[in-house]
Amino acid sequence: DTEVTQTPKHLVMGMTNKKSLKCEQHMGHRAMYWYKQKAKKPPELMFVYSYEKLSINESVPSRFSPECPNSSLLNLHLHALQPEDSALYLCASSQDNRGVGYTFGSGTRLTVV
Amino acid sequence: KQEVTQIPAALSVPEGENLVLNCSFTDSAIYNLQWFRQDPGKGLTSLLLIQSSQREQTSGRLNASLDKSSGRSTLYIAASQPGDSATYLCAVIKGGGNKLTFGTGTQLKVEL
């Protein structure tokens, strides 16, 4: 298995909703990432988990809450989002914390209404 | 702060042409540089990875070069095809880290 699987592919949520994005990989990768990509912009890093511990938080607002239940799973919990948070959320993994073997999922298209 | 720029921002070519995409970065202390392809509304597909000690990598019709001292990389696509139409992104990882810093992207259209 050489894939990173993200669910759901599309999500529409209201500003008072709570939802979660899920990401899964079975490549034995020990680093997992969340990136955010606005339309016609490059992806920007949000969070990094290395060996199941949060190692980087790029000053992301607390309405985004990451969770790494085990080495194969990564979640992003969403609460009280704003319309400007609408974007493509990409999950990625790599073999280790040196970024070797970066593999991206197909993303979740999030719309906040 | 690392800044990564790609030129041109958009490119339209007829099928069969050879083309070059450019990427420049401001901090030469990189661990590696990668080229990705992104189709509209989709995730990223890794095309080529060049370690900082390497000068080039090849895969099929793609060849990527790296000149770390001058802060530049090029992606050469031979005999372009309509299926090559996509946005191409270069990204660097700083030595000792695992954060990808992406370039601004080149939107490529290959026409019949």
Mean pLDDT rounded to a whole number for chain A: 95
Residue A2: pLDDT band (50, 70, 90) is confident
Residue B96: pLDDT band (50, 70, 90) is confident
B45: contact with A, CB 8 A cutoff? yes
pLDDT at B97 over 90: no
Q: Do A45 and B100 touch (CB under 8 A)?
A: yes
What is the DSSP code (8-state) at residue B43? -
Share of chain B above pLDDT 70, in %: 100
How much is the pLDDT for B56?
96
How much is the pLDDT for A54?
96
Q: Chain B residue closest to A32 (CA)?
A: B98
Which residues in chain B are contacts of A27 at CB distance < 8 A?
none
pLDDT in tens, A38-78: 999 999 999 999 999 999 999 999 999 999 999 999 999 99
Share of chain A above pLDDT 90, in %: 91
Q: Chain A residue closest to B101 (CA)?
A: A44
